[in-house]
Copies of this chain bind each other. A is one copy, B any other.
Amino acid sequence: MADASRVFPADEHRARVAALQEGMAADGLDALLLSTAADVFYVSGFLTRFWESPTRPWFVVVPASSAPIAVIPAIGETLMRRTWIADIRTWDAPDPVDDGVSLLVETLASVVPEQGRVGLPAGPETQVRMPLTDFRKLESGLAPRKFVDATGVVCRVREVKSEAEIDRIRATCAVADRAFARVPEIAAPGRSLADVFRGFQIALLEEGADWVSYLAGGAGPEGYSDVISPADNRPLATGNVMMLDTGAVRDGYFCDFDRNFAIGLPSDAASRAHAALHAATEAALSALRPGLQARDVHRLLVDGLRDNGALPCGGRLGHGLGLALTEWPSFTPKDETVLRAGMVLTLEPAAEVAPGRILVHEENLVLREHGAELLSARTPAELPVIGP
């Protein structure tokens, strides 16, 4: 878990805020209003699992040129005081009459002129984490100030990771690598997928995860039918391919990759599909360069699968990663984001093995000037086999 030795130095956060403020200036924003776990952690270093409770909103305000201000429920004050944030304003939440709205109005009004603009992430892959009715009160309380979408400002800064962030993501990936190496001890023919899920989460914790925010997967003859289901109690059977996909967390940073395992010797179709996924990933890893667009990576993976005789499926074939399980950009045919050095990304091609049966493979990497540097240990081309 996070402690003083692992928390980022204040300079890391100052550099992030400076980069945000540069983007704000370019977009003519007088303040930035942040409300999600990832954005608040990014600016402040405030790390807690308490976001799991939907009860209370939390805010960080980034003014145009001064230090960030935390506007938070009193229950978080002690923890926020351990971060670099000096200006911390609290209210007794939850308050059914005024749940921080007047305090937030007052705070924003003090840093945004009447004709000014408040930016907040309101575009693709964002949410404003507060009650809609309260957001409307905020808008009217701050009029004639305007709220505008600042997704671009936040996304362009968060997308490129610092070396300190890359180190943390690499450490989380290493936790998952060690846990995946133990799957042959955890899974066996006859064991239920639910038991494997529990055993794999235990392995992740034993290997150093602070917590396991995400685990999904599947198992079935030659492949699985979807990739977001929780486990069921059916026993693994010879001929199944099992997949585990995890978003473990260490020091607030996620990994997100999966591994496939054949239960007993795999069919030719499953072996070929896995080899094609591996080859398509290999081709994309070789071709990745700053300057490509996100949609180019989608195309690389689709072409790689077809070139290796596999039938591509799935919508998004990879994405950004770091403070959240999934971040911008998205490797889809429509995402025109230009890739830059320092982006941490996943490659996640999917192939159909038989009607309704798929295999998905995923690796994590950081994009360097010269190309991809893997953060997850490269999976072998051949499907690992478990059991007799």
Contacts and interface: CB of A to CB of B under 8 A. Distances in A.
Categorize the interface residue count of chain A. Answer: 35 or more
Contact of A332 (B49, B95, B193, B316): B95
Main secondary structure of the interface of A (DSSP, over half): loop
A4 interface: yes
A94 B52 contact: no
A233 B315 contact: no
Interface string A69-81: 0000111111100
Contacts of A95: 332, 334
A334 B99 CA distance: 11
Interface stretch (A14-22, A23-31, A104-112, A205-213): A205-213
Interface stretch (A284-292, A319-327, A367-375): A319-327
Given A330-B55, A334-B95, A334-B96, A122 B131 contact: yes
A226 interface: yes
B127 A129 contact: yes
9 contacts: A1-B197, A3-B233, A55-B319, A75-B226, A77-B226, A94-B125, A97-B334, A127-B128, A127-B129
The 9 closest A-B pairs by CB, nearest first: A1-B231, A3-B232, A122-B132, A78-B226, A50-B228, A1-B194, A53-B326, A1-B230, A3-B233
Interface of A: 1-5, 36, 38, 47-50, 52-55, 73-79, 92-97, 99, 120, 122-133, 135, 149, 151, 193-194, 197-198, 201-202, 205-206, 209-216, 225-234, 247, 314-316, 319, 324-326, 330, 332, 334-335
